[in-house]
A and B are shown apart, each in its own frame.
Chain A
Amino acid sequence: DGGITQSPKYLFRKEGQNVTLSCEQNLNHDAMYWYRQDPGQGLRLIYYSQIVNDFQKGDIAEGYSVSREKKESFPLTVTSAQKNPTAFYLCASRTGSTQDEQFFGPGTRLTVL
């Protein structure tokens, strides 16, 4: 079945540590996205990539980094520079057609201890 997988589902991190959240899709989508969601809030865009080896900052990119070496994969690294990283992280992908919806992964819940 085609879809988006994110791992791990739950992640605990100590302050000062970098962590990497995985996102893989087998939908053959060109574009991929990372969003952050805080409790009771909407989704805020962190980074997005429209094509392999290219990505753009979203509204809240500070303290995060990404790579897009393969079409299927778009990992997100939460660095120690991110002051308040505890949140729910959602990865999404989309075809090249802007009339198509974004497909989302199940999310990773990151907690900083």
Chain B
Amino acid sequence: AQKITQTQPGMFVQEKEAVTLDCTYDTSDQSYGLFWYKQPSSGEMIFLIYQGSYDEQNATEGRYSLNFQKARKSANLVISASQLGDSAMYFCAITPVNQAGTALIFGKGTTLSVSS
């Protein structure tokens, strides 16, 4: 069984500050993928970044980067230079890599509020 834990219900930052959203996971799979999604108040789910368990480099996508620490089973999302439009709910998710079509398992999310 796989499990995602996001311990921060809410985070508050000011514009242009960097913020780290925590994610820890539990899995018995040797190969797995970790995903981060953003959900604005409109409800749509927006894919942000992916990290494979065997990737040697931490994933980066623009202002998003993933601080992947495999031994600690953590995959924290770092948003650099926060913008007002970053205010949303953020979800971490996991799935095994070698089982095609298997669903993503999501954490409970962290609400990020960015103020000016």
Contact = CB atoms under 8 A, between A and B. Distances in A.
Interface in B68-104: 91, 95-104
A96 B97 contact: no
Tell me the dominant secondary structure on chain B's binding face.
loop
B104 A31 contact: no
A75 interface: no
A48 B35 contact: no
B50 A42 contact: no
A8 interface: no
Contacts of B50: 99, 101
Contacts, number: 71
Interface residues of A, number: 30
B103 A48 contact: yes
Nearest to B46: A104
**Chain B interface residue bracket vs A:** 20 to 34
Interface string A77-108: 00000000000101010101111011110110
A61 interface: no
Nearest to A29: B101
Contacts of A42: 4, 6, 91, 106-109
Given A98-B95, A107-B44, A41 B108 contact: yes
Given A104-B45, A107-B44, A45 B105 contact: yes
Nearest to B42: A106
Interface in A18-47: 30-31, 33, 35, 40-45
Given A48-B103, A50-B102, A97-B100, 18 more contacts: A42-B108, A45-B103, A45-B105, A50-B100, A58-B103, A98-B33, A98-B97, A98-B98, A98-B99, A98-B100, A98-B102, A99-B33, A101-B35, A101-B47, A102-B104, A104-B44, A104-B45, A107-B44
Interface of B: 4, 6, 33, 35, 42-45, 47, 50, 52, 91, 95-109, 111
